[in-house]
Amino acid sequence: MSYSKDMDRPYTVVVEGNIGSGKSTFLNHFQENPSISVLSEPVELWRNCGGTNLFALLYEDPKRWSFTFQSYVLLTMIRQHSLQTNTSIKVMERSIYSVRYCFVDNMQSEGIMPSLSVEVLDEYFNWVKNKPEAKVDLVIYLRTSPDVVYERMLQRNRDEEKTVSLEYLTKLHDVHEKWLYYKSAYSCPAPILIVDANLDKTSIVDEYIKSESVIMNKLSISS
């Protein structure tokens, strides 16, 4: 391990994982730390774009709304990456990278999003990923099994997720695994710290503490 030497911007951590993998719970662990700015996924913006719930429309008619929704998600995540903070550490829930490498990739492979729409999103993505604001120092992958996240999703009972199937979560799991675990699809913007997020709430606290040590010391780990 070595210290990150680029201090012109916050040491930036992105927390990735499937729906229901515990990203919000993980971020809550750091909310009270005055040295860290925590940026949750901007779900409320997706629920209210000019008064319309794009999040709900996506699940109601994916083929009709996939490009519109992912365009807006990409924009809101670009804003998260670019947001100035008064702390030296920034922890984000998801990133522009999982937008493209996981969700858009899955929509394309499922035939939900046509290739031309993907090409347009790629133009945005490839332009912004080379900007200094998009630089990431650490990726934390909350690794879970599809069965576990499916049960968690049912328990939290979000209206927009009521039609989400175990099959869909399995496909999202697979694209995350290829990107962050097997590293067989796409490159990763930073070293990856894998957390076993299948653990129960008591046991996983120890994993949070281990991650906190890496984050607070601004360490870079071998990828």
- Catalytic positions, please? 93
DSSP string, 15-82: EEE-TTSSHHHHHHTTTT-TTEEEE---HHHHH-BTTB-HHHHHHH-HHHHHHHHHHHHHHHHHHHHH
Cβ count near 214 (within 10 Å):
17
Report d(CA 97, CA 113) in Å as an integer: 17
> In this structure, what DSSP letter does residue 119 have?
H
Please answer whether residues 214 and 91 qualify as being in contact, where contact means their C-beta atoms are separated by less than 8 angstroms.
Answer: no
